Structure 1
């Protein structure tokens, strides 16, 4: 049985993959530069999600306006840990949340068809004070997943769920340092 609050991600010894959906202009510029550049906004919070299916739900499989391109953003595990160590849950006191460099929230994980599941997926909002650090120091690679997303979506619509699932990135329980568990997970 999957724990209610568990970070599941695609990761290796040094990095973790998070997903974001952007307009073509932002995605193309970032992919050309190999990092986030204008028109990416360094003046607003950016939300990163280690759950591929949650982002597929959020972006409607890259069909929502302004979210037509899906990027796998590989960041350092040190950057991920730093973000979480500075995180304040979105359910916190508004004053604490207003001063936080990072916001964290848990939303129901999603099935391939978008149904809410009984366990939760973490979303991490990197605020303006850390956005340059995220973009310039933590991000080590960007991959355009849009063709894969479109192929998986077409397979799902055609009733070929098993074939679609073989295209999904492999996600497994992320080993959270014990010092961070209580910071990010409701109830510690």
Structure 2
């Protein structure tokens, strides 16, 4: 992708996210309230879908539109079902389910737009020192932005409909 010729590049980075479950290791599907699930989905999923639908006509008019949906490794059903994975014991249901829904939207939208130049992918930014990630996180904000920026700047022959972290696929 040549940015000098594509000054009409439209990028939608759907980056809003909340974690309202309480605790990463003690929250679970039977203790989280329906209200917390609704609030989490409203921000992490419904807001992302609504923003994408509003911006999509502009993105489709771009010669190289990109949509980057900020997900999380916590959305990986494969890793949650694998006993030796690093996230196996982390089961905050509202957050994880909302980010898994983001990944489903990514797959569906990529399929729908497969015959356009638009690329749609989900990104796991990593454990980043933000209000959500906390001070114990391993990555600073600049490092956490790398995956999203990489996906926003994909060449025309880049992937669409994937889930990535620092250039590597993340299992669904």
User: Which category of TM-score, normalised to the shorter sequence, fits these structures?
Assistant: under 0.3
Identify the structure with the greater strand proportion: 1
